[in-house]
Structure 1
């Protein structure tokens, strides 16, 4: 994300966080989790906001410390099929075609993959998965070019609303529990007592920080969010999926 987008989406949050932590906060744009990990390793950044899948990769490479979880209402993955489809469960996707969103996306890739795993399917061999991006996956699904679609519950609801449809038109056949929260990470180079102080200050000012966070152009997803103490164990579900997908090297220390 470049600095222009950071200013557009996160400037109110940056200003509020600076006030809460009583320390100067500056943006450090990165274009990928690899760049974020490198910035932590080079001591170029102290705090980082990351999604669940990005966090486990960054944590493996840097020993970064999870400080604050940013919950997201209805943050879960679903798999849906067209009305009239004979497919009634994720297990029946064997030999079928499933459209997903972006590689590494927690709700658009890893979450649906976890649903396949829970159904006893090998996502690498038991069905054909097409990574088509948010728009491409929904378009192919609407046009009946795939047997099923997997993605975030929010995107699913958006599809129904924009098309004037109901869940009967695209019934859900599998749904995850709430996915792990986005997370504010601290560099392991920071003093641990300072990290604990930052955590306490953020938790004590969460109403102010969430109000600032949702002011951004593309941060509306955080409406109704809360800030909680982060727990690394909550992200083991993401690590499990990476392992089954054969991407264990991504999360190897």
Structure 2
């Protein structure tokens, strides 16, 4: 990612400082900018437990005027029976823009966010659980026996790397999953590990701008141990 985008990210956060106390920064940007400094993030993700479309439009209008940049709505899900989200791109120049998501937090918070330089930042626990739900999926269906199983979930190199850093640096995935996740979510984690495309993840990791190179094989072995630990503990509880 070009320095132009990282510098513009900083300008956006400074412009919003003290102006969006009802939102908190999550995802890869929060993890990289305020905790691990492990990779470059190409966007900003703001969550809120009290989503309001007019409030989002108010924030974007203010931001556009403050930075003297055009803001375009590129995606939206406004229905109340689904997770509501508005995705904007703020123009930087003719070639580049910064993607900003404003989303409804359907999971809720484990810990209160902390304010850093006027921006609310989600806790590591909250970033972690949201990363897990992203890869494990949050929707469920019944199998042929009537048992609920998880489905969906995203498979991307950035989630893979972020989850590895959280598990390796903050709290082991197996430990976190039993402390904060239910059985269906743990099943989703196991399904994710067995189904993600290894080649796609390897290729995607090469495209990320990492602050320090990490061997894919080490990450794969780490997840393999953690999945084994989850399965063993599940067996003990059965």
User: TM class, shorter-chain normalised?
Assistant: under 0.3
Q: Bigger relative contact order, structure 1 or 2, given CA contacts below 8 A and separation 6+? A: 1
Scaled by the length of structure 1, the TM-score of the pair is 0.24
